[in-house]
Amino acid sequence: MKKKLDEVKWLWAEYLYEILWSYHTIVHSTTKETPFRMVYGANTMISKEINTLLWIRVSFEDSINNEHLSSEADLLDEIINTTHVQEIASKQRIAQRST
C-alpha cells in the first residue's frame, strides 16, 4: 500500500477506494484475518481483470448465495474465537517486550 500511495501522492482522492479496499481485504498480522471477513463473515471477490474490483457479481443466484452464507455463518464463531485468542497472544507479546 505504501508503494501505491507514494506513486499517487497528489491523486490520493482518486485512489482512495482502491487503497481502502486493499487495506480491508489483506490479511492483518495481528488477527490473521482480513477486516472484511471479520465484519461480513465472508471472503471478498476480486475479478480476474487487472485493477478492476468486482463490486457486484453478474451471475447472482439467490439459492446458491444462501447456501454459501449458511456455511460461512457456521464458521463465523470459530473465526471470532481464533481471532480473539490471537489478539490476546499479540497483546501478551507486546507486554513482554515493554517489560
Identify which has the larger pLDDT, 96 or 6. Answer: 96
- Backbone angles phi and psi of 13, in degrees to 5: -65, -35
Tell me the per-residue pLDDT of 3-35, one tens digit each, with 9 for 90 and over.
Answer: 766 776 777 677 777 778 888 888 888 888 888
Q: How far is CA 29 from CA 26, 76, 88, 98, in A?
A: 9, 19, 13, 19
Domain boundaries, the chain: 2-98
pLDDT tens by residue, 30-59: 888 888 888 888 777 665 544 444 444 455
Q: What is the pLDDT of residue 55?
A: 47
pTM summary value = 0.39
**What pLDDT shows up at residue 46?**
63
